[in-house]
């Protein structure tokens, strides 16, 4: 069958039945940026906006088959990876990335839901670092994920976060975006780290609003802008702006606001 020439983002992740996070957010975001999507579903979950009730994992071979079918049938410009659920799925996804090294991947290292339920099985962090991260163009942890990935306490400040980020980058991949949404202060600052380059900071005003799926949104918006052939820095800048605007909209509409962000 002829390949569709329109650039696509291949979304690899879990379905959240509430629509607040996961592939529903990814598709919504990538479509809003004007890029098409194709899918590889890693898990089905039953969720409300404040609880994860049930999780069912896809067979790893089926995740790989979905990815290969999407990569063969479409012009996949970038791959956005979210919830991976198990070490076996991580290994299966990594094997497909190795077959398509020309397609850059953005990994949102989803470890747990905001409500505290693990979305990656215990012990799978090692597989994520060893097998998957070195194949990714960009990894986008928040401060909590960053600390868990390097096995440290939560960084106390930006300098501490940069040190942890540098430690993670030493695993051997191109770029790390540390998301500062969980920090405090009047600005929300994300820091882009690359080996042998000065950190680049992307800051917005911190909004007194909180919304589910912002991590999914940011990584998806970045992947969509990369698919439009923007540079990494421009894609991150556009992604951050996209999330800021969605948070602002949600604050104005009081829509999907779960809890007020800390007043600083
Ligand atoms: N469910 C799925 C399928 C996800 O991919 C994610 C995050 O990426 C979550 C839940 C967690 O979202 P939140 O932190 O907004 O609860």
> Would the CB of 216 count as within 6 Å of ligand 1?
yes
Residue 262 included in any domain: no
Q: So what's the pLDDT on residue 251?
A: 75
> 208 — phi, psi (to 5°)?
-80, 65
Residue 132 included in any domain: yes
Range name among 44-53, 148-157, 247-256 with the lowest pLDDT average: 247-256
Distances (CA, A) of 67 to 76, 174, 186: 10, 22, 41
What confidence tens digit (pLDDT) does each residue in 213-250 have? 999 999 999 999 999 999 999 999 999 999 999 998 88
How many other C-beta atoms lie within 10 A of the C-beta of residue 151? 9
Distance CA 65, CA 60 (A): 9
Q: So what's the pLDDT on residue 1?
A: 56
> Would the CB of 22 count as within 6 Å of ligand 1?
yes
> Would the CB of 109 count as within 6 Å of ligand 1?
no
ipTM of predicted complex: 0.95
Closest C-alpha among 100, 123, 246, 104 to residue 175? 104
Q: So what's the pLDDT on residue 188?
A: 86
- Selected residue with higher pLDDT from 156 and 138: 138
> 6 — phi, psi (to 5°)?
-65, 130
> Would the CB of 215 count as within 6 Å of ligand 1?
yes
Strand partners, 187: 205
What six digits make up the tokens of 34?
């004007």
Residue 220 included in any domain: yes
Residue 76 included in any domain: yes
Looking at the CA of residue 14, tell me the nearest atom of ligand 1: 3
Distance CA 80, CA 45 (A): 19
Q: Which helix (H) or strand (E) holds 48?
A: strand 36-48
Q: Model pTM?
A: 0.94
Q: So what's the pLDDT on residue 264?
A: 27
What confidence tens digit (pLDDT) does each residue in 62-80 have? 999 999 999 999 999 999 9
Distance CA 53, CA 259 (A): 20
C-alpha 21 – ligand 1 centre gap (Å): 5
> Which DSSP category does 208 fall into?
S
Give the domain range for residue 30. Answer: 4-253
What confidence tens digit (pLDDT) does each residue in 187-201 have? 889 999 999 899 999
End-to-end Cα, the chain, rounded Å: 56
What confidence tens digit (pLDDT) does each residue in 99-115 have? 999 999 999 999 999 88
Residue 258 included in any domain: no
Instruction: Give the rounded distance of the alpha carbon of 130 from its chain centre.
Output: 18
Residue 23 included in any domain: yes
Report the CATH number that the domain containing residue 124 is assigned in CATH. Answer: 3.40.1190.20
Model confidence band, residue 2 (pLDDT cutoffs 50, 70, 90): low
Residue 158 included in any domain: yes
Residue 263 included in any domain: no
> Would the CB of 114 count as within 6 Å of ligand 1?
yes
Task: Please state, for a pLDDT cut of 90, what percent of the chain lies above it.
Answer: 81
> 260 — phi, psi (to 5°)?
-65, 140
Distances (CA, A) of 137 to 50, 105, 132, 210, 228: 32, 5, 11, 28, 15
Q: Is the pLDDT of residue 263 over 60?
A: no
| Number of structural domains found in the chain | 1
């Amino acid at each position: 069958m002829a390949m569709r020439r329109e650039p696509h983002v291949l979304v690899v992740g879990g379905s959240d039945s509430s629509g607040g996070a996961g592939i529903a957010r990814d598709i919504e975001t990538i479509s809003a940026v004007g890029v098409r999507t194709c899918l590889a579903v890693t898990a089905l979950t039953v969720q409300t906006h404040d609880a994860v009730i049930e999780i069912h994992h896809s067979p790893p071979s089926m995740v790989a088959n979905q990815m290969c079918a999407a990569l063969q049938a479409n012009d996949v410009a970038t791959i956005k990876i979210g919830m991976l659920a198990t070490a076996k799925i991580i290994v299966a996804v990594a094997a497909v990335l190795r077959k398509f090294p020309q397609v850059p991947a953005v990994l949102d290292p989803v470890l747990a839901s905001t409500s505290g339920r693990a979305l990656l099985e215990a012990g799978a962090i090692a597989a994520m670092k060893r097998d998957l991260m070195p194949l990714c163009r960009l990894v986008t942890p928040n401060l909590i994920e960053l600390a868990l990935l390097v096995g440290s306490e939560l960084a106390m400040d930006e300098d501490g976060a940069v040190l942890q980020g540098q430690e993670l980058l030493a695993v051997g991949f191109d770029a790390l975006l540390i998301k500062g949404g969980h920090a405090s202060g009047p600005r929300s600052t994300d820091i882009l780290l690359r080996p042998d380059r000065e950190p680049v900071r992307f800051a917005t005003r911190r909004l007194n609003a909180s919304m589910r799926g912002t991590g999914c949104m940011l990584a998806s918006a970045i992947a969509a802008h990369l698919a439009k052939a923007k540079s990494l820095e421009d894609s991150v800048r556009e992604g951050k702006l996209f999330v800021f605007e969605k948070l602002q909209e949600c604050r104005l509409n009081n829509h999907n606001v779960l809890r007020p962000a800390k007043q600083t």
